[in-house]
Copies of this chain bind each other. A is one copy, B any other.
Amino acid sequence: MGETVVRGGRIWRGPGQGLETADVLVRDGVIAEVGPGLDAADGAARIDVAGRIVLPGLVESHCHLDKTLYGGPWVPHSAGEPLAERIANDRDRRGELGIPDVDRITALLERMVASGTSYVRTHTDVDPEAGLRGVEAVRAAAERLEGRITVEQVAFPQHGVLVNPGTAELLEEALKGGVRTLGGIDPAGFDRDPVGQLDLLFELAARYGAGIDVHLHDGGTLGAFEFELIIERTEAAGLGGRVAISHGYALPQIDAAHRERLVERLAAAGVSLVTGAVYDFPVPPVKRLRAAGANVACGHDGIRDLWGPFGSGDMLERAMHLAYRSTFRRDEDIELALEAATFGGARLLGLPAYGIVPGAPADLVAVDAETPAAAVVTHPPRELVMTGGRVVVRDGEPVA
């Protein structure tokens, strides 16, 4: 790839760190140097982003690529409100609509690339009905976009583990086939046996060296109890940094003293919280979690699928939703939402190097905004997007 220098941007290194005007020297897809007055070897590319804010590549930490209808015709939502009805609707209409669809997944990934996302964690349905077709479809789409976006799949038992015989075997199959993270879903409320589901997941994770990311919608004290079960197992297995709870509606619902204890324990155990701030559902206490040292990441959840028609794939817009629902008004608070869509996601995914620093992959996004908080509020067009040193968006237009 040779050398490229991205000149004159204002580099963002994380919340409260301010901005540093600097050039970024990229060599062979990796950031070689960051500082003033850098230049590249003769014949190298020079990209001027004078005055633009330069963010590290955005991280989508929770979505469902396999379910998406993105880029196809509008499909009016057809399910009722109860969860069971929405699950049945999803099952019934998948065949009719040809889901999972590699072209739809590709269209959404292209949209993500264009909006500056470099890394994606996606929860892919794995169950006796779908088998591993979702995993294969997502893999096929990700291969089409290779070098432009990195996709990590979670083998996700959407329809339960214990209540859906054959699912555990398929989860193991997925791990054997290269999937590196196991999903779970409401071990109590859905699977009816919290200890049973979690023991099964942690046992599999230990055997295959996998991480874990559990969908936890269960609310109040029941959900809080499951937080504790997950924390206990994470500590026992030494899986700190490899385990996450997605949604975690219970955390903002329980009383303040109980919440405070859980926040401290999440931080100590190295269990991340992943939120999308979706619809009207509870949003975790991002500021408190970060102050305690617990990791917070952010994602869309479903994007244009049988579960709901919303979602754009733009992680700056998603960070806006998180900041807005958190009633963050001050720049330093809004930056916490941006952190969840960047560094928080990178920690969730365990990326070995990340950020606008020497040695990290050259994943960066330049936007016209006065401050990082303003970039979240206005989520303006991406003027430049670079992934692994490759320019994928230039002057706001995708580069083929």
Contact B331 A374 (CB under 8 A): no
At the interface with chain B, which of A156-164, A192-200, A322-330? A322-330
Interface residues of A in 12-40 (CB under 8 A from B): none
Residues on B with C-beta less than 8 A from A78 are 330
Residues on B with C-beta less than 8 A from A369 are 74
CA distance A324 to B79 in the complex (A): 16
Q: Does A349 count as interface, using CB distance less than 8 angstroms?
A: no
CB distance from A274 to the nearest CB of B (A): 19
Contact B310 A77 (CB under 8 A): no
- Residues A310 and B324 in contact in the complex (CB < 8 Å), given A74-B370, A76-B373: yes
- Residues A329 and B370 in contact in the complex (CB < 8 Å), given A280-B283, A324-B279, A377-B310: no
- Residues A371 and B77 in contact in the complex (CB < 8 Å), given A324-B279, A377-B309: no
CA distance A327 to B279 in the complex (A): 5
Contact B279 A373 (CB under 8 A): no
CA distance A330 to B307 in the complex (A): 10
Residues on B with C-beta less than 8 A from A79 are 329
* Chain A interface, DSSP helix/strand/loop, else mixed: loop
Q: Does A178 count as interface, using CB distance less than 8 angstroms?
A: no
Contact B331 A77 (CB under 8 A): yes
Contact A76 B330 (CB under 8 A): yes
CB distance from A322 to the nearest CB of B (A): 11
Residues on B with C-beta less than 8 A from A128 are none
Contact A74 B310 (CB under 8 A): no
Interface size class of A (residues with CB under 8 A): 20 to 34
Give the residue name and chain of the B residue nearest to A330 (CB): B77
Number of copies: 2
CA distance A320 to B279 in the complex (A): 10
Residues on B with C-beta less than 8 A from A326 are 280
CA distance A377 to B310 in the complex (A): 6
- Residues A371 and B76 in contact in the complex (CB < 8 Å), given A280-B283, A309-B377, A310-B377: yes
CA distance A230 to B398 in the complex (A): 55
Give the residue name and chain of the B residue nearest to A370 (CB): B74
Residues on B with C-beta less than 8 A from A73 are 370
CA distance A327 to B80 in the complex (A): 11
Q: Does A396 count as interface, using CB distance less than 8 angstroms?
A: no
CB distance from A312 to the nearest CB of B (A): 8
Q: Does A308 count as interface, using CB distance less than 8 angstroms?
A: yes
CB distance from A280 to the nearest CB of B (A): 5
Residues on B with C-beta less than 8 A from A371 are 74, 76
CB distance from A281 to the nearest CB of B (A): 8
Q: Which of A81, A310, A331, A378 has the most CB of B within 10 A?
A: A310
CB-based closest 5 A-B pairs: A74-B370, A77-B329, A76-B331, A279-B327, A308-B329
Q: Could you write out 16 A-B pairs with CB less than 8 Å apart?
A: A74-B369, A74-B370, A74-B373, A74-B374, A76-B331, A76-B373, A77-B329, A79-B329, A81-B327, A279-B324, A280-B283, A310-B320, A310-B324, A310-B329, A310-B377, A312-B378
**Given A279-B327, A308-B329, A310-B324, 12 additional A-B pairs, CB 8 A:** A73-B370, A74-B369, A74-B374, A76-B371, A77-B329, A77-B330, A77-B331, A79-B329, A279-B325, A280-B324, A307-B329, A310-B320
Residues of A within 8 A of B (CB): 73-74, 76-79, 81, 279-280, 283, 307-310, 312, 320, 324-327, 329-331, 334, 369-371, 373-374, 377-378
